[in-house]
Each structure stands twice: as C-alpha cells, then as structure tokens.
C-alpha cells in the first residue's frame, strides 16, 4: 500500500474526479485546495493536521460552511455527531487504531456538499489511502457515484476498524477468561483493568457513531442519493453490531472480574481451611502434652509404665476423631 507522503506542516491533498478523469494534488495550500470546490466534478479535499482556525472560518464562509462547523472541526475531542446545514452535511466521528497494546481514538470530520467532500483528521493513518487507490481504479463504483458514496466508503472503513479492534479485544477477553479459570495471579487484575479502559475508549467512539450512522441512514436529504441509502443502512447495521460486540465484551469482562474475585477468595479459603485443620488437630494434642508436663506429683498415669503408651494412644484417638469429624462434614 502506498505510504502517505508527509508534507511540511499541514498535509493537504486534493483528488478531483469524474467517471473518466482523475486529478490529484499533494501538499498544496488550503486556499488552493478550496478553489477546486464548486466545479462540476467531485472534489475530495483531505486535510491531515489542524488548520488555523481563522483561516478555516474565512474559507468556510466562501463555501457556505457555518463558523460553528469549523469550530467543531478544529476543537479536539468533539462528541461524534451529524449536523445538516442548508448546503452541506457535517459528520464528526472517531477513528480507532490499535497502538502498542492500547487503543487510540482520533477525531475525523467529514463535510460534504453537492460535489465536494472535505475530510479533516489529526494524524495520517493508512486506511484512507485504500480509498484513494480504489478511486484511481476507473472500474470502481466510487468513480461512478457522487460525494455521498465517497462519504459512505470512508465511514465504512472507519466502522471496519471498529470491528477489527473489537475482535482483537474479544479474543483477549476470552484468553483472560480461560486463564482466570486455572490461575489466580494478581497480574490478571491489571490486565482486566487495562482491557476495561480500552473498552471505554472504544465505546466512546462506537456508541455515538452508531447514532451518527443511524441518523445518516434514516435521513431524507438531497445530498444523499436514493441509491446510496441502502449502503448507509448497511454501515449502520455493522455499527450496531460493533456496539453489541463492545457491550458483550464488557459483560464478559465483568464476568471474568467476578470469576477472578471468586478464585481469589477461594484460594484464600483453601489456605485458611488448611490452617484450621492443622491447628484444630494439634491444639488438643498440645494440651495433652502440657497436661502431662505439669509439675504435680500426683498426675494419674504419670508414674505408671503404661501411662505414656496410653497418652500416645489418646493422642492418636483424638486426631483420628477430629479427622473423621472433618471428613463427615465434607471439610477435607
């Protein structure tokens, strides 16, 4: 797969296409990119990095984009949402990517009008490059469809990333479950909490994304063609599924936690039971030895030669009675 070229500051790329023709510009200025909007062709402006807010608002005004939309795009950690304005629809979602044993979420904003799509993302990630490659293929459905289909394709790739990451998490949760059934290692707790935290990050991306896609799937708008609607419904279904897997993993994780706690207390109980048995057997025996260790002259049997053997038999008898009593109660 083609590596994304890194530009000096902002990395802005324009792809302009019709069924027959495709032009691409990399590392251009925002203002230059903007000049492509308004042509008859479909224009995709892909912005990586956070542009300067004032410039964006000014450019937005040219394209009929409300300042509030531009504010949402430049502000970090916006809640995923979809908002329809007169001439465009603005979509904010979170892209999830696995990053050294953790999950990172980044804001992706998509603004699309009648013949343009503008995407804003904080960092470069590979998945959008796939779409670019597909666009370059003249046979691709993308080339024959409008901006709404491009938006669907990008959102679908984001939802696929959710499912990939969730599958991995789900595997780990199930590994943990099998492990917990055999070991009660304290390290497991840290891993449970690490997975829990990752699931929180995922849920905070997936749950509102489900709303976003539901809203796009059910929307009647001039900007979403009738032919594209089933695709959005399909992406919506997959996002519901992602949300359900996240829910399910969370429940399983809670079950693993319970199992761990139960195992821990069971482990503890075994140790205590062992102490109880040892102590309960030896305490009476020690009493007997103490009894015959008293400095009285006239302790019965002490002076008898059979005394000692009687005491040993008594000790054996007491121990045996104790053990039988334990067994009868199912304690050993």
Tokens of 151: 């938006």
Residue 68 or 324 having the CB closest to a second copy = 68
Residue with Cβ nearer a second copy (275 or 324): 275
Pick the closer one to a second copy by CB: 33 or 73.
Answer: 73
CB of 302 to a second copy, least distance (A): 5
**CB-CB contact of 241 with 109 (8 Å):** no
- Measured in degrees and rounded to the nearest 5, phi and psi for residue 89 equal -120, 135
Rounded least distance, CB 45 to a second copy, Å? 23
As beta bridge partners, residue 106 has 95
Handedness of CA 220, 224, 227, 233 (dihedral sign): negative
Q: How far is the CB of 80 from a second copy (least distance, A)?
A: 10
Question: Residue 199 in contact with residue 225, Cβ under 8 Å?
Answer: no
Q: Which two tokens stand for residue 135?
A: 């666009």
Q: Which is nearer to a second copy, 115 or 280 (CB)?
A: 280
- Closest separation in Å from C-beta 303 to a second copy: 8
Can you list the pairs that 6-12 forms with residues at least 24 positions away whose Cβ atoms lie under 8 Å? 6/124, 7/48, 9/49, 10/47, 10/48, 10/49, 10/51, 11/47, 11/48, 11/49, 11/124, 12/45, 12/46, 12/47, 12/48
d(CA 283, CA 288): 9
Residue 21 or 292: which CB sits closer to a second copy?
292
Closer CB to a second copy, residue 33 or residue 216? 216
Query: Nearest distance from residue 171's CB to a second copy, in Å?
Result: 14
Q: Helix, strand, or coil here: 44? A: strand
Taking the C-alpha atoms of residue 195 and residue 101, their distance in angstroms, rounded to an integer, is 10
Residue entry with tokens 């053990």: 323
Task: Give the residue among 149, 92, 88, 135 at the shortest CA–CA distance from 114.
Answer: 88
For the CB of residue 165, give the shortest distance to a second copy in the complex, in Å. Answer: 16
To the nearest whole angstrom, how small is the minimum distance from the Cβ of residue 34 to a second copy? 22
Comparison of 40 and 296: residue with beta carbon closer to a second copy: 296
């Amino acid at each position: 797969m083609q590596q994304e070229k890194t530009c000096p500051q902002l990395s802005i790329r324009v792809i302009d296409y019709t069924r027959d023709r495709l032009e691409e510009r990399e590392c251009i200025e925002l203002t230059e990119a903007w000049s492509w909007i308004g042509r008859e062709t479909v224009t995709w402006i892909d912005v990586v990095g956070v542009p300067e807010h004032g410039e964006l608002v000014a450019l937005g005004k040219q394209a009929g984009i409300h300042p509030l939309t531009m504010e949402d795009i430049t502000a970090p950690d916006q809640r995923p949402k979809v908002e329809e304005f007169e001439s465009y629809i603005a979509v904010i979602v979170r892209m999830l990517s696995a990053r050294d044993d953790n999950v990172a979420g980044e804001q992706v904003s998509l603004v699309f009008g009648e013949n343009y799509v503008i995407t804003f993302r904080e960092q470069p990630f590979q998945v959008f490059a796939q779409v670019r490659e597909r666009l370059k293929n003249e046979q691709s459905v993308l080339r024959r469809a409008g901006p709404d289909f491009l938006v669907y394709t990008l959102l679908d790739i984001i939802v696929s990333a959710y499912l990939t990451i969730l599958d991995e998490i789900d595997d780990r949760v199930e590994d943990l479950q099998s492990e917990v059934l055999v070991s009660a290692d304290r390290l497991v707790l840290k891993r449970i909490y690490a997975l829990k935290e990752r699931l929180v990050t995922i849920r905070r991306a997936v749950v509102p994304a489900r709303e976003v896609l539901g809203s796009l799937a059910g929307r009647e708008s001039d900007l979403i063609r009738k032919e594209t609607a089933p695709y959005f419904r399909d992406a919506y279904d997959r996002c519901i599924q992602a949300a359900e897997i996240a829910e399910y993993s969370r429940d399983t994780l809670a079950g693993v936690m319970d199992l761990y706690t139960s195992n821990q207390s069971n482990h503890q109980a075994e140790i205590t039971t062992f102490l109880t048995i040892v102590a309960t057997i030896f305490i009476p025996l020690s009493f007997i030895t103490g009894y015959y260790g008293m400095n009285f002259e006239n302790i019965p049997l002490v002076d008898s030669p059979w005394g000692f053997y009687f005491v040993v038999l008594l000790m054996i008898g007491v121990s045996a009675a104790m053990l039988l009593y334990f067994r009868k109660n199912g304690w050993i």
